Structure 1
């Protein structure tokens, strides 16, 4: 803010900048902490129990294929003794297996972690080849998402119009920013005069550092986007509300420079935002969707309006246009059907026109150009 002294470095940002346990694994493995945590869980829950007794040099593609088939068909409650720790057993410990099996997406993820680990062993010359590459698990279907329709989107914006975080929900729906990108946005990232926002960071909760500001997900995610005029006005109103909260909090205010903060100026926990979002959906009388589905809603509505795929890719911050094309393939297929139906109606009208008797010698009227 103009005329204000530079605020002290916030605690949640220091956690990512100092030599904490969160930064040391990330610098050594070139991985985010949450990614490293998921890899570790996958190794301990699946790879070690299934392949841990097999010597690396003697591991064959047949071993990997047999193990993956076993993981695919085994109830996870039985395999990991999950039911034994429950207060009221309802699966293997109760004598009635629930047959809870891993999804194809999870199975493909486990396979990819194994391939990555063996590829590292090849680079370190511990083994000569990556046998996991010779095993095919099939292409899993992408996750199903239920984006808001245009009518539902308008209904949602009307329902949250008086909410203190209306600017956040409107920005999410109109630009498709990720949840962490929204929560990590700072006032210095906004240029309301030019109507742009610079996406430089993301706010995430990690096991060791708590709420931590990290760089964007990929290099392509670091981008500058154009702000809709409605969002510019919402930001101005939101800043006035935040200034009122700053005065009310007085000495308890935590000046982190965040656009979207708690009433005391602190960062908003992503889990809390999810809970508030579900409550707002119920209040608006809308079906339950994930917060991330607002991002899918943005892309779907833009595609349905005929916006080019490359523009949507840049707006969403996808690393490759193939990601955008794959995720929204079903939308593009529907648009293709609409285009084919439109052409069919045009051809039928043309046939009907030529089939009718016309005593005049004038040429038939030209069809309107289709854009």
Structure 2
């Protein structure tokens, strides 16, 4: 028991840490009893935890203290995410491993976690959290925080009765310019496609830049999904290469869709199919494309193996460098397709459908910078409408 003469409103310092005491219900007697909770690094953290505990007691939601740490819970939580897409789970695991586990916050008791602790943690990560020890982008910090938030919220009911007050967590601000996805203009795209024409994966570059489909969706296409005469391409699944070998699953939004490929794409795919048949003749018995999962794939390696997403990204990076085009990721071809269409006045709803966004508001949020028009134009438009009505 702490010396009550040193206690201030239920808070007391014990050695190098702070503790608090509150009165909690005793299920056996129906009366209240004192409950001590310690291990807080400073008085402010102890006060925040005490206030949260008092609020839980008042609402009848108090949870018995547990020694489970933030790091331990995150590992448990990741291990139970069996319904997560492989790429997404790999991204979650990497962010936790790099930006949570090496830091003191991983050793904080889950029930002692406070907004102040999280704010300080993300401040440190934002200034020195990159692999090279330098600053980490606000976007990555916010993504990592969203994962921690999901995990902690999922602990409610099992290890927590209420999560921290997330609105009080201070995160680095996202720069306005950084919110715009990287994309090429029409001249850059034309120059790149001209410079890389005739290279092996050129049909993939053409397909992605002219339909906006994702890398994994393009590499999961089967010939039965493609009608090179009408141009209809059915996007019914995606592929990731997390772990051993390719993993096929539903598209990112779990819904199939059909996109239309223009003439350039259709011609490229016709030529690709001929080249693929020649690959099979040359490979002979070494051709592995007859395997059930990969036999009908559109994009294959010379021996019939699927083209791995990571391989495609590296091949694109080399092609961009060799062509002299501005730096861009393979996913940037998708952004390029959407940006060029919206800048040319295409319907947001139609572009959202092409991209596979469930809600056009997602498209608006990501590509609002690409939509033409300004307040002056809107004012002129209203004046014309009202003037005509008068």
Change (3 A) 1:233 1:112: same
- In structure 2, relative to structure 1, the CA distance for the partners of 1:336 and 1:186 (3 Å cut) is same
| Greater Cα shift, 194-203 or 304-313 | 194-203
SS of 1:131's equivalent? coil
Partner of 1:129: 162
Give the TM-score, by structure 2 length: 0.68
Q: Tell me which of 187, 190, 208 is aligned to 2:223.
A: 187
What's the CA shift for 1:144?
4.7
Q: Which secondary structure state, in structure 1, belongs to the residue aligned with residue 246 of structure 2?
A: strand
Match of residue 166, structure 1, among 183, 188, 202: 202
Contact 1:115 1:132 (8 Å CA) reproduced? no
Q: Which stretch shows the higher mean deviation, 316-325 or 139-148?
A: 139-148
| Residue 249 (structure 2) aligned to one of 206, 209, 214 | 214
> In structure 1, how many angstroms separate the alpha carbons of the residues matched to 2:93 and 2:269?
41
Please say if 1:56 is aligned against 2:93. no
The Cα RMSD (Å) is 3.0
1:328 equivalent to 2:361? Answer no
Answer whether contact 1:206 1:212 (CA < 8 A) is retained.
yes
1:139-173 CA deviation, whole Å, 9 max, x = no partner? 52445544222122222222233233332221111
**TM-score (norm: length of structure 1):** 0.71
Partner of 1:32: 85
CA distance in 2, matches of 1:281, 1:172: 15
Question: Post-superposition shift, 1:120?
Answer: 0.5
Query: Aligned partners of 1:158 and 1:247: how far apart in 2?
Result: 29
User: CA offsets per residue over residues 246-277 of structure 1, 9 Å max, x none?
Assistant: 11111111222111111111111223323332
Quote the offset at 1:284 in angstroms: 3.3
Unaligned runs of 5+ in 1: 1-24, 84-98, 348-371
In the alignment, is the contact (CA less than 8 A) between 2:141 and 2:172 conserved in 1? no
CA-CA distance at 1:228 after TM superposition? 1.4
Query: How far apart, CA to CA, are the structure 2 residues paired with 1:66 and 1:41?
Result: 21
Query: Take 1:43 and 1:195, find their aligned partners in 2: how far apart are those partners?
Result: 42
| Stretches (4+) displaced over 6 A | none
SS in 2 for 1:213: strand
Cross-structure match for 2:377 = 340
Distance of 2:99 and 2:360 partners within structure 1 = 33
Whole-Å separation in 2 of the counterparts to 1:304 and 1:210 = 39
Which runs of no fewer than 5 residues in structure 2 stay unpaired?
Answer: 1-77, 384-390
